[in-house]
Structure 1
């Protein structure tokens, strides 16, 4: 997976700051280098429609977004994707399983920013190689039949992957950003806005309302030129609860309070629960407990809970970046291991079948 497009050095911005700029390929160039077949394009369109149907209550399945906190190793990511594709087929009557392919990571201060930024994990920041590798990797996942999800952090990077994605997250740190709301308003796939890091949902509901409207905003076209972007508005948004500084927000009382707020704002009550982050107290092994409590709410009739998100990798836990990384272990947030993930989703599938079987 090597890039055939090299970065082109340009002159420094000014002698004062001595900032070196490197020219990236345009998103059109990368898409032409790594195109989607007609079959894969149709597959992405079908997956997006399936997600929309769940959001709109036309499909009774649960939407499950699951996979590594971040992808740092293509080999382990593809091994995970292969396992997930087989599991997704087995539980497809009860769940639409979407693969987390997160190649950008928000940082509170500094740290590794993700595969798209630093694919060699060494601070060299080969972003041309990172963009190319990330697109190649997502395309391989699509070939396995999986819908793909990611968090869009840098708006300029979105157009390199937008044709591959069936679901997108806007993170807790960027949900309040006008730029990300404008971007979301022009995306062709459903978007989940996370509540703020304080646990409040006001910024997310504001974001959903903003993204639903058309916008004109500054941007970059597919050939890499500055442009005025005109969007149509995105009606396919929903809320993602990830807890906050004061603790979890997935319990029955929190969800009921939120549903009441959404009704007052005349926003469709479509809620996904992120079983990680503050909802699990940042303990990856608590994710199943969160998942099962939300599942019980769903089984008890709360159809506003349209899905869950899990951070999961081949093996549980996490590790710091080093010269000797353990295979299949996250280098960012801790993850649930594959065996526990598979057991959790298979058990959930059985529980979801029970009402339909009249048992």
Structure 2
């Protein structure tokens, strides 16, 4: 085997014992989990807003962003429920480059997985402690989920992972909403197969154990656009796309039909400013159709302190080092405008 075994990483329960949550923080997360579940079950008509940096690259800037976001949440709490993106795993199309804080707590230094696992647990804990936000992550590595399972209130399975059986069946047992993105090919049936698998009971091997799940009734679809065979971005957030997805849910008879619309990625062609228009377009579809209003549970927006993106090492505080994001001023204005549109 051509692998160098560097060191054994602590098991999740060992890391949780070393960096525990107190009863107060556990209680905050449990309350938020129930509120989010009520939204997905249709018992609460607030809009979910999953918003934050493309990649959580540095603790200080992320916590500052989340602190500002918490103040805005207080202003819109009657209409919008915010789950902040604290994405510490960065998928790479070619498998090379910066893979997120899990791999590199400091993007300008070498990879250090042990330091990374500790750093991401401490970051999510700090966000919860200082802002009251339990968080959202991408489940890029299903076997790593348990390092953060007591902190997360939402996970997304990405466009390149959604066809993978391990992602689907692990999502069936995580106990929180799991969003399945449509694949980069745009084949909606792949996404719906993933939702079906995640909502179903499963038995499988996980972290050295044979495990059984009851299925996750909060597994749902995420529309993020796709690419054609020439690499051009094709959006799928429009009224007709939402109607089509609604029909797919009815055909499959899945529980809690739901979709989160990702306003960036192929829906925006990675033109981050388009997220403003797309978010409002989705709300317009919700206003003209009661069925779509019940189907669309929320939006996903990439947002950080500063507009755009930069290369690693350029050193602009609060600007994304991965995909470009909406800056804070535009993000705050958009959140307030969305709340008004929901009135």
The 5-angstrom pairing of residues 36-185 of structure 1 reads 36-109=21-94, 110-122=96-108, 124-143=110-129, 144-185=131-172
Q: CA deviation at 1:89?
A: 1.4
Q: Report the structure number with the largest CA radius of gyration.
A: 1
Tell me if the contact between 1:97 and 1:147 (Cα under 8 Å) persists in the aligned partners: no
TM-score by length of 2: 0.94
Match of 2:276 in 1: 288
Tell me if the contact between 1:120 and 1:126 (Cα under 8 Å) persists in the aligned partners: no
**Aligned equivalents of 2:286, 2:128: Cα separation in 1:** 29
TM-score by length of 1: 0.90
Match of 1:7 in 2: none
Tell me if the contact between 2:58 and 2:106 (Cα under 8 Å) persists in the aligned partners: no
**Aligned equivalents of 2:6, 2:214: Cα separation in 1:** 33
Match of 1:311 in 2: 302
The 5-angstrom pairing of residues 232-243 of structure 1 reads 232-243=214-225
**Aligned equivalents of 1:53, 1:233: Cα separation in 2:** 17
> Structure 1 residue runs of 4+, over 3 Å off?
none
Q: Which structure 2 residue ranges, 5 or more long, are not aligned?
A: 229-233
Q: Aligned pair count?
A: 332
Match of 1:24 in 2: 9
Q: 1:279-320 deviations in whole A, cap 9, x for unaligned?
A: 111101110010000011122232211110000000010111
Q: CA deviation at 1:261?
A: 1.7
Q: 1:154-187 deviations in whole A, cap 9, x for unaligned?
A: 1221110011011110111111110001110110
Q: CA deviation at 1:342?
A: 0.4
User: Residue 163 of structure 1: SS of its match in structure 2?
Assistant: coil
Structure 2 residue 251 is the aligned partner of structure 1 residue 264 = yes
Q: 1:249-295 deviations in whole A, cap 9, x for unaligned?
A: 01111111121121111124311100000111110111001000001
Tell me if the contact between 2:172 and 2:197 (Cα under 8 Å) persists in the aligned partners: yes
Match of 2:20 in 1: 35
Q: 1:6-62 deviations in whole A, cap 9, x for unaligned?
A: xxxxxxxx5xx2523321111111111111111111111111111111111100100
Tell me if the contact between 1:44 and 1:166 (Cα under 8 Å) persists in the aligned partners: yes
**Cα-Cα RMSD:** 1.2
Match of 2:323 in 1: 333
Match of 2:231 in 1: none
